[in-house]
Amino acid sequence: MGRCGIARRPRRASEGGTVAKYVIQWKPRDGLAGDEAAPRRLLDVFSKWTPAAADIQQMLARVDNQGGLSIVETDNVLNILRDVSKFEVWLEFSVTPVVDITDAVPVFNEAIDYTESIPK
C-alpha cells in the first residue's frame, strides 16, 4: 500500500523513472598489494569499458593512489550495478544516493519545523 492506503504496483528498476544522482567511491581491494599484474589488468579492462550509466558527471582519482570517485546521474540504478560489477575483482565500491544541496535545504528546514511543532 502506498500513502493514504492507495495500492501501487511496485516499479521495477529496469523501468527507469526519476533521475537520481549517486556518488560512487572505490578503493583497491585488500590482498592485491603484492600482485604486480593486477593494476595493469585493471587498466586494460578499464580502457575497453563503456559505461552503462552514461551520464557520468565527474570521474576523479585520489592523488594518494588509494581509489577515486565518480558522480553519476541515472534513472536506472541497475546501470550502476552493471558498471561496478565489472571491476569488483580489483576494487571495493560504495554507492551513495545524493541530492543537490539546494534541494536538500528546504527538506532540512521542513524537518526542523516539524520537530519544533511537537510540544516537548
Q: Give the pLDDT band (50/70/90) at residue 15.
A: low
The class (CATH top level) of 16-117 is: alpha beta
State how far the Cα of 28 lies from the Cα of 62, in Å rounded to an integer: 12
**pTM (2 d.p.):** 0.77
Q: Facing residues of 20 across strands?
A: 74
- Asked if pLDDT for residue 9 goes beyond 80, the answer is no
Contacts of 63 (CB under 8 A, 6+ apart): none
- Asked if pLDDT for residue 70 goes beyond 60, the answer is yes
Question: Region 59-74: what's the mean pLDDT?
Answer: 96
Residue 44 CB coordination number (10 Å) = 10
Using CA atoms, how far residue 5 sits from 8, 98, 108, in Å, is 9, 28, 26
Question: Region 36-57: what's the mean pLDDT?
Answer: 92
